[in-house]
Amino acid sequence: MKGTFLTDRGRIRSHNEDAGGIYYNSFDQMLAVVADGMGGHQAGDVASQMATTLIQEKWENTSEFDKPDQLEEWLLNTINEINESIFLHAQKNKECEGMGTTLVIAIHIGDFLTVAHIGDSRCYLLNRNGFKQITEDHSLVNALIQSGQISKDDAKYHPRKNVVLRALGSESEVDADIKTITIEEGDKLLLCSDGLTDKIQDEELLEKINASEDLNEVAKQLIDMANSRGGEDNISLILLSKSSSSGEEGENK
């Protein structure tokens, strides 16, 4: 599985608080991650960069994984360790107080994909059954949707639509959602921050991803579309394809 990672500051923000990348361990097993930082006097970029840098370091030093349950245990332990590192950094540095980051990780091994996430950065799967979000947003508006207090349409315009209920590093302990699914030849994945999904509907994401096998070109078009609709937030995405025509890996930032 190969892919591309792109991130963009957007049209309004003074700097980019998103981070991410596609990384490989010494056994050529792939990990993709997107993080969207927040809080702490513009220290969101510190939290997201810490998260992705630590994940990269830990992944590149792992042994070969044979089974998904090994991956799930590694993810659980790693996320807890990184959460503690970010939280302690914020405690020791007043300018970083209250910072945190969303996190979405996908690890591909053989016919399996293990996904972990915290917050409202998302993972979508495109396969023969269609295009589906396989993560559940840890956000205020999603909780209101789940409880029947608002509709999905209401959520798009809710004044607190960007409030997340879980974030990496903002508290001493964190609860990540981790699961494993099967993946087949030809399947595609999208990992992204809410700077993309706040501006582009699921049907539009599907249309763009289906339009070309050039993942880097599709990623650029999606970022351009989000920016053309305001670009108020940072925009980051990873596109992955399990096929021989998936192209080259994008730049890790």
Tens-digit pLDDT profile for residues 58-80:
999 999 999 999 999 999 999 99
Question: How big is the chain by its Cα radius of gyration, in Å?
Answer: 17
Q: What is the CATH number of the domain that holds 220?
A: 3.60.40.10
Residue pLDDT, tens place only, 110-121: 999 999 999 999
Residue 139 has φ and ψ, to the nearest 5°, of: -135, 160
Name the packing angle between helices 44-60 and 68-92 (round to 10°).
Answer: 140
Using CA atoms, how far apart are residues 214 and 253, in angstroms rounded to an integer? 20
| Amino acid identity for residue 143 in this structure | A
Least confident interval from 21-35, 38-52, 127-141, 234-248: 234-248
For residues 219 and 200, give the distance between their C-alpha atoms in angstroms, rounded to a whole number.
13
Instruction: Check whether 253 has a pLDDT greater than 80.
Output: no
Tens digits of per-residue pLDDT, 183-234?
A: 999 999 999 999 999 999 999 999 999 999 999 999 999 999 999 999 999 9
How many domains does one find in the chain? Answer: 1
The single-letter code of the amino acid at 92 is K
Average pLDDT, the chain: 92
Residue 251 lies in a domain: no
Residue-wise pLDDT for 143-176, tens only, equals: 887 788 877 777 777 767 778 999 999 999 999 9
Instruction: Quote the DSSP letter at residue 229.
Output: T
Q: Is residue 249 part of a domain?
A: no
> Can you tell me the mean pLDDT for 92-105?
94
Contact between residue 39 and residue 109 where contact means Cβ atoms under 8 Å apart: no
**247 found inside a domain:** no
pLDDT at residue 158 in the model:
75
Residue span of the structural domain in which 222 resides: 2-241
